[in-house]
Amino acid sequence: MIIKAEKLTKKFGGLVAVDQVDFTLAAGEFKSIIGPNGAGKTTLFNLIAGAEPVDGGRILFQGDEITNLPQERIARMGVVKTCQTSQFFPSLSVMQNLSVAAQPPSSWRSLWRGKGLAQKTLRQAKAVLKQVGLESAADCPAEALSHGERRYLDLGLALAANPKVLLLDEPTAGMSPAETRQAARLIKHLAQEFSLSVILVEHDMGVVMEVSDRVLVMNEGRIFAEGAPQEIRRNPDVQRIYLGKGRAAC
């Protein structure tokens, strides 16, 4: 198990956003999390990535405890998260954005630019630029990108940071169904190419069923069901909570 969370709990005042969740992710596994709004998907992400303090339980990454480590430490170990809204460096060019992310984490201390380091950074940034298909926009300031391109840049930043585990929180938010399908396939392809483990939050059920090895359903802070895409699709309870009672037939 590359990630193992035990009895993970997070409270916001009286609201239990994540309630004693046990969660595992195998190395190389592509797992999707689905569930209605407010089910605790984003909070679960934030806990695993260290973006928010954990109130109870613990998280192991490759057997080492990472509970409540600073976010940058966890990211440096290889657990990198993207958010629902694109997070990038607006006035820097696309290439500069990716070069920042491609810098080896320990290089922040360095006031001297070794040649090897620069080459490595450049190669990594260029490779990612190509993978996310932003070559034609390389020299544009990132703020000039369209919404869809921004989502790809966001994904590219995460990829450039050399992750082992990618936590993607609705990477296709705001995309059309066709774009969503395309983006999800790209993610799947990249995950296989770099043997990444991926946790994906996604609303398009067709896409989820297509790309995921396993699907996890969350509701009201708990894990409601987990299984292979086919099992989840057939599970009537899932249809009920996810699609709403009246619309289960659709």
Partner 1 sequence: MEEKLENPYSLKIVWAILLVLAPMPLVLSTPLATEILIYAIFAMGFNLALGHTGILSFGHAAYFGLGCYVTGMALRYLELGVFPALLLGTLAAGLAALALAALAVKRQGVYFAMISLAFSQMLYFLALSPLKGLTGGEDGLKFIPKLAIEFPAPLDLSKPLSAYFFTLFFFALAIFAMRQVLNSPMGRLLPAIRENEARVKSLGFPSHALKIMSMAISGLFCGLAGGLLTVYLGYVPLSTLHWFTSGSIMMMTILGGMQSFSGPIVGVLVFLCLQDVTGNFTERWELFSGTLFMALILLFPQGVAGTIRQRVRRRMAPAIPEQQT
Q: Please give the C-alpha separations between residue 193 and each of 68, 131, 242, in angstroms, as whole numbers.
A: 31, 11, 32
Minimum CB–partner distance for residue 115 and partner 1 (Å): 9
Among 27, 110, 130, 177, binds partner 1 (CB under 8 A): 110
**Residue 72: CB minimum distance to partner 1, A:** 5
149 CB-near residues (< 8 Å, 6+ apart): 134, 137
Name the minimum Å distance from CB 107 to partner 1: 4
Specify the stretch interacting with partner 1 by CB under 8 A; choose among 14-22, 57-65, 108-116, 198-206.
Answer: 108-116
Question: How many other CB atoms sit within 10 Å of the CB of residue 113?
Answer: 10
How many chain residues are in contact with partner 1, going by CB under 8 A?
45
Phi and psi at 33, nearest 5°, equal -115, 125
Q: Which is nearer to partner 1, 1 or 92 (CB)?
A: 92
Q: By CB neighbour count within 10 A (0-12 exposed, 13-18 middle, 19+ buried), where does 33 fall? A: buried
Q: Distance between CA 216 and CA 224 in Å, rounded? A: 8
Cβ 36 to partner 1 shortest distance, Å: 26
What are the start-end ranges of the E strands in 115-180? 165-169
**N- to C-terminal Cα separation, the chain:** 36
Q: Does 31 bind partner 1 (CB under 8 A)?
A: no
Question: From the list 13, 108, 116, 246, which residue makes contact with partner 1 (rule: CB under 8 A)?
Answer: 108
**Which 160-219 residues touch partner 1, going by CB under 8 A?**
161
- Which of 205, 201, 218 minimizes the C-alpha distance to 35? 218
The 134-163 site mask, x for binding partner 1 (CB under 8 A), equals ------xx-xx-xx---------xx--x--
User: Which residue, 71 or 235, has its beta carbon nearer to partner 1?
Assistant: 71
SS3 216: strand
Q: Which of 7, 87, 206, 237 binds partner 1 (CB under 8 A)?
A: 87
Q: Does 20 bind partner 1 (CB under 8 A)?
A: no
- The residue from 119, 176, 192, 230 that contacts partner 1 (CB under 8 A) is 119
